[in-house]
């Protein structure tokens, strides 16, 4: 049985907010946003505020789920340092985000550049999230 009682949900919330903030910077047109839009065939004209609100809401829910399970895994493993937490985050990234993105290349013909952009963001947010989850007082 999975025990969520040991999860610090304030830390999960803070890690999720940090993750979303990283995403807003990462996907800014001055960072990787323009390249990302090109990879998915989107133009600035295709964007609208209602779609963005929905996307941010769904993205935040997905991020809270991810951070909750990263917190749970850190608890189960018993990490005690930020370095251990960051290492677990990298292992989780290799086991989840990277293969999922590569399936997109194999089956949906996504360009590798999209994999670099999306999984790069996932790697950074997993590490930052895990560090926050480890560091935040219980």
Query: What digits encode the pLDDT tens for the residues 68-125?
Result: 999 999 999 999 999 999 999 999 999 999 999 999 999 999 999 999 999 999 999 9
Q: Is the pLDDT of residue 65 over 90?
A: yes
Q: What is the pLDDT of residue 4?
A: 86
Strands (E), the chain: none
Q: What is the pLDDT of residue 51?
A: 86
**pTM for the model:** 0.93
Strands (E), 15-93: none
Whether residue 17 contacts residue 119, with contact meaning beta carbons closer than 8 Å, is answered with no
Please list, in sequence order, all residues whose beta carbon lies within 8 angstroms of the beta carbon of residue 95, skipping any fewer than 6 positions away. Answer: none
Q: What is the mean pLDDT of the chain?
A: 95
Please list, in sequence order, all residues whose beta carbon lies within 8 angstroms of the beta carbon of residue 89, skipping any fewer than 6 positions away. Answer: 70, 123, 126, 127, 129, 130, 131
Cα 73 from chain centroid (whole Å): 15
Count of domains for the chain: 1
| Domain, as residue range, for 34 | 4-40+49-135
Alpha-carbon torsion, ordered 66, 15, 103, 117, to 10 deg: 170
Q: Is the pLDDT of residue 1 over 90?
A: no
């Amino acid at each position: 049985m999975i025990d969520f009682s040991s999860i610090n949900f304030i830390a999960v919330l803070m890690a999720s907010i940090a993750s979303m903030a990283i995403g807003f910077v990462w996907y800014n047109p001055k960072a990787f946003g323009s390249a990302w839009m090109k990879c998915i065939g989107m133009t600035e004209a295709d964007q609208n505020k209602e779609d963005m609100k929905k996307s941010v809401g769904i993205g935040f829910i997905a991020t809270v789920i991810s951070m909750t399970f990263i917190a749970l895994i850190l608890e189960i493993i018993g990490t005690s340092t930020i370095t251990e937490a960051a290492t677990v985050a990298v292992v989780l990234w290799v086991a989840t985000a990277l293969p999922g993105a590569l399936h997109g290349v194999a089956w949906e013909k996504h360009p590798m550049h999209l994999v670099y952009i999306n999984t790069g963001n996932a790697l950074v947010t997993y590490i930052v999230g895990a560090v926050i989850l480890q560091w935040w007082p219980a």
